[in-house]
Amino acid sequence: MKPNRKRPRQLALPLSGVESMIEAASRSREARDTIRAMLLVRKTQTSAWRGQSAVPPGSFAEVVTEAFRQRTDIPLELPLAAVMTLISGRLLEAGCLVDLHGQMVKPSLWTVVLAPSGAGKTFATRRVLDIAGQKNLFPDPASAAKFVQDLAAHNNATWIRDEFGQFLRALDQQTHMAELRDYLLRLYDGQQISRRTKMDAISIENPALTILGSTVLETFKDCVGPEALVDGFAQRFNFIIAPADPLRRAVDFPLYDLRGHQDAMRSAWASVEQVPLHPIYRVGEEAIGTFKSAFRAMMPEGDALPVSFFRRLMFSGVRYAAVYHILIGDSGSELTARDMAWALRMVALHLEDARQLLDDYGLGELERVVRRVEEVKTEVEAEGRKCKPRDLCRRIAAIRTASEAKALLQLVEEGDEKSERI
């Protein structure tokens, strides 16, 4: 009879979306960098900014959100996102650019609001657009080919899309939409978009859209898999989670009656329209200093530099600075430290909500697996040998294949190399 031996410490976890992230990590260095960024972001302190902290007193945003607070139970993130989209679209349609040390940036925002079913997503967006009299919107594309045709006719427009999660899923599942993913990636970077048809050739220089998508939070994971987050596509969007407010119950608002606030909201928007627009908004040195300070303060613990996730999110602060410049009624052509400070409050909101979204994707489980990999690697190296994928398979029950073990070991080793360089 063989003597009882103490079994190696094991960690049995349901992996769900984690397996998809590990699979993505095995395919690309960018995915591994992104996963490390996600894990580092989770270690940062929860931001103290939320909701009202990103709304300048007396602004159009405050007038609108206060009206919705008093007369509806709609999550206030919904009208707030609509206000930001409206001003971004105004700047974009007017041809305004932001000059960041010679780099010309279009003030386009890509936002996705995640809210419970029945939260009033469409109502909130449409009411804000109606206040501003915004009618000229980018049409919903029926195919990739139609998207290019519409973009040629409506470049620098605003695109409002309900059920945005289902739209993103269609990019992977429907043949006539497949090319649209590449077009969106090009659109985000402002790269030329071209398409040749039987009739003619279409070419769009410097394409841009301001996008506001809304979708149901509970079903978003069914539409957008973890691999889309870690491979970078979904990271082009700034996410806002709009939870229901239990203090403002639906029973108290049988009708969303905003009539008593219409005049105040229209007057506040008229003030926005009176702010003169400039073709170029230069980011002032004080604003750049504010951005740099916030970048260091908001960077994940350990001074790591998440290449894709964190930088994309932070860079949206430059665009938000232009939006806030108009929102607070500044008629100058220089973006100030005050503009940037307000912008970074909105960025912090996105960062906080991205962290929550990643939790919903099972990043907490992945974090535990990665931490256990680090422990096993340390234990093996203490024995005087190099950790191999088979060591992980033997000691961690959650790792089910050699390819998963190899991807996780790469993830940890590359993170160690980056720490040594810093």
**Most distant pair of Cα atoms in the chain: their distance:** 89
Residue for token pair 């939260």: 119
∠ CA 29-31-37, rounded to 5°: 105
As annotated, the residues of the chain forming the CATH 3.40.50.300 domain(s) are: 44-360
In tens digits, what is the pLDDT along the chain, a chain of 422 residues?
A: 444 444 444 444 444 456 766 776 777 676 676 666 556 555 544 433 267 889 999 999 999 999 999 999 899 999 999 999 999 999 999 999 999 999 999 999 999 999 988 889 999 999 999 999 987 899 998 899 999 999 999 999 999 999 998 888 888 888 888 899 899 999 999 999 998 877 788 999 999 999 999 998 888 877 877 776 666 677 789 999 998 877 777 767 878 999 999 999 999 999 999 999 999 999 999 999 999 988 877 775 543 334 567 788 889 999 999 999 999 999 999 999 999 999 999 998 898 888 777 766 666 667 778 888 988 999 999 999 999 999 888 888 888 888 888 888 888 887 665 555 44
The CATH number, out of the four listed (3.40.50.2300, 3.40.50.300, 1.10.3720.10, 2.60.40.1760), of the domain defined by the range 44-360:
3.40.50.300
Confidence at residue 10, expressed as pLDDT on a 0 to 100 scale? 43
Length of the chain measured in residues:
422
User: Residue 269: CA atoms inside 13 Å, Cβ hemisphere, count?
Assistant: 22
Report the alpha-carbon distance of residue 405 to residue 418 in Å, rounded: 20
pTM value is: 0.76
φ, ψ of residue 100 to 5 degrees: the values are: -110, 95
Which tokens in the block code for residue 315?
Answer: 């860079």
Residue for token pair 């976890």: 13
